[in-house]
Chains A and B, each alone.
Chain A
């Protein structure tokens, strides 16, 4: 049963990521990203990280992605035209690079063949996460709030209309 779910989510995620890559219109790419986020949520649930799964939906899909969509619509983005690529080599580098990177990572991954472990459950219960956040990791927690503040301020200042 688990395997089936895993497979479904995996295919969805990879398919969606490919769509992000291959679509011409940024809007389509953003929506594909949305699908991928959903697939990942499924993964998190499978892995027992319930709190994170929820957070993923609320924040990632619900806030960040919405922000992307707003900006896309605000700027009235068009589909990418097939213009003459000024530096074609970058394009051609992409695939071999991807292959290399993938190979490296998979090599790393194979290390873990020797350590099969049971997939855990009930590790990511909300209560547990909450407790850790507010005790051991309290300082980073507070700092992130400041970080958010800075980001907000930054975004506001940067995108402000010039006063004539």
Chain B
């Protein structure tokens, strides 16, 4: 069953890749969406099977085939379904399916229709492999695979230089992270002798009862940090976040699926999967929390200053991912996953809605040339509103519950010493306010106010542009995802809201699959003090009020002045790309040209190869002299040869038998 789930998109990808070019768009769409749809249904079925099991035994393991058996290294493909991967396959296939449906409309008329769906399906396969893998190496296969699909899909418009470069950038930056990841995997194998999650985590739990203290860089911390490097690359955290905004060069459904809902959350998944490991390294957790919070704040400030609608959403994604890592860092793994799920819903809505707008305006992405669209595209507008309120974190939308859970856990985090916990909370709080502001800006500039899109056709003359609502195939997914953005949060309702009577269902479900956070020795809870529900409600209320105020203020502000100039520092993303270029790219290029190319490649390698040829020619030139064509020379040669053979028989061996 799990096998079918995973393999189906792969088959569709193969079929579409080979035969797709000859088929009509309808057939391609049917196959492309159908496979994901079937996977979705199978995922649902698997999930229900999982649910039926009692909480302590909620694991389904399906071996697939034996892959590597070399000496002590035994790696098989097997699928491991527990609460964590169960949640993941559900929302990945569900959101993936609706995005595929949306793409049917969005990509209509594009010559590479079949290629698009083939790559998208390939991506689904890789993502499912990543999530359902039962060992590190297979997960790494999926990890690399989604990176590959990201490359293929970002560079989908391969005839555009910018898109091709962006694809390369994404892949290369990812690779840097993957290097750390690979080192981590090697270290795990060297230490524990196995790569299976269940076995490794079991050994860790047994052998290391006490977590490694803050500031101590022991074995577990090293592994944890190496793996985190990989997560940083894949999930676009500082300093490897630079690829995500440029990845917006790909088609919008790609941005929605890969760079918002699924691939970028792979890093969070990995940390949750290894939660036993991370729960034993206070240093790693602290670093993760800090990086996450810093990234969240940092990205939010940049998102405030972008004019490209997709770039705003890209930085928003980076920022929200920061929240997820923050949650992991403070030991609230289930809260992190919860936010992954709600984020998938509302970010997908936002991206797809943006896609709807972009297509309606004939692929215009600059918000300065939008405006007043709510009259023309009410459905899109309505769904975007849902996404907006969800991401801002207003109740009763889904984003509120997950974000608030994270903030609360940060405040009360047992893994970081006291003052830091408050500081991290402060950063999260500030980010929430900034989120409200920049999202409001996006909504207002795009949908409210004066229509600025007529400016588009001025230089090109001819047809006046009247945007209209997108077709049903695009709006239905929007509606579905918007509904989930509204209602999807109730599954993770914190206990505080019901006075402790109704438990947090999500946390209960996924909790057993994750480790419980370690307690820092300096923490208050170690001293026996537990903040109660009242504190939680109070903080939540404060946050909501602040966000609401920011939201309304921003709305008023941007309504009045949508095209207000933004600070250059923020608009140029703190010049990070330029910095990397100067620090890394240019020296590398120079070094390669001057040294690697000229010295090594031309001189040494070409020299060797040409040298072989030249030496052969030289030998030939000498040996050629033997072929004189003169009979008498040949006679001499024969005679000398005979002399030598005779000499051999005389002096060396082969006695001439004498009777």
**Residues of chain A having any CB pair with chain B under 8 Å:** 87, 90, 93, 97, 100-101, 104-105, 107-108, 111-112, 115
Q: Please encode chain B, from 406 to 438, with 1 for each CB lying within 8 Å of some chain A CB and 0 for all others.
A: 000000000000000000000000000000000
Identify which of B632, B640, B650 contacts A107 (C-beta below 8 A): B650
Which residues in B have their C-beta under 8 angstroms from that of A97? Answer: 636, 639-640, 643
Residue of A nearest to B628 (CB): A87
Q: Does B611 contact A (CB under 8 A)?
A: no
Q: Are B647 and A108 in contact (CB under 8 A)?
A: no
Q: Are B630 and A108 in contact (CB under 8 A)?
A: no
How would you classify the secondary structure of chain A's contact residues: helix, strand, loop or mixed? helix
Residue of B nearest to A107 (CB): B650
Which residues in A have their C-beta under 8 angstroms from that of B658? Answer: 111-112, 115
Residue of B nearest to A86 (CB): B630
Which residues in B have their C-beta under 8 angstroms from that of A115? Answer: 658
Q: Does B450 contact A (CB under 8 A)?
A: no
B649 → chain A, closest Cβ, in Å? 9
CA distance A69 to B432 in the complex (A): 120
A112 → chain B, closest Cβ, in Å? 8
Q: Are A108 and B656 in contact (CB under 8 A)?
A: yes
CA distance A93 to B640 in the complex (A): 10
Q: Please encode chain B, from 636 to 659, with 1 for each CB lying within 8 Å of some chain A CB and 0 for all others.
A: 100110010011001000001010
Q: Does B508 contact A (CB under 8 A)?
A: no
Chain B residues within 8 Å of chain A by Cβ, number: 12
CB<8 Å pairs between A and B, sample of 22: A87-B630, A87-B632, A87-B633, A90-B632, A90-B633, A90-B636, A97-B636, A97-B639, A97-B643, A100-B643, A101-B639, A101-B643, A104-B643, A104-B646, A104-B650, A105-B646, A107-B650, A108-B650, A108-B656, A111-B656, A111-B658, A115-B658
Which residues in B have their C-beta under 8 angstroms from that of A111? Answer: 656, 658
Residue of B nearest to A94 (CB): B636
Residue of A nearest to B635 (CB): A90
Which residues in B have their C-beta under 8 angstroms from that of A101? Answer: 639, 643, 646
Which residues in B have their C-beta under 8 angstroms from that of A105? Answer: 646
Q: Which of A93, A101, A104, A107 has the most CB of B within 10 A?
A: A104
Which residues in A have their C-beta under 8 angstroms from that of B630? Answer: 87
CA distance A112 to B658 in the complex (A): 9
CA distance A111 to B649 in the complex (A): 13
Residue of B nearest to A114 (CB): B658
Q: Are B636 and A93 in contact (CB under 8 A)?
A: yes
7 smallest beta-carbon distances between A and B, as pairs: A90-B632, A104-B646, A90-B636, A93-B636, A100-B643, A101-B643, A104-B650
CA distance A115 to B658 in the complex (A): 9
Beyond the given pairs A104-B647, A105-B646, 7 more chain A to chain B contacts, judged by CB atoms under 8 angstroms and listed by A's residue number, are A87-B633, A93-B636, A97-B636, A101-B643, A108-B656, A111-B658, A112-B658
Which residues in A have their C-beta under 8 angstroms from that of B656? Answer: 108, 111
CA distance A100 to B640 in the complex (A): 10
A164 → chain B, closest Cβ, in Å? 30
Which residues in A have their C-beta under 8 angstroms from that of B636? Answer: 90, 93, 97
CA distance A101 to B633 in the complex (A): 18
Residue of B nearest to A93 (CB): B636
CA distance A89 to B587 in the complex (A): 64
B658 → chain A, closest Cβ, in Å? 7
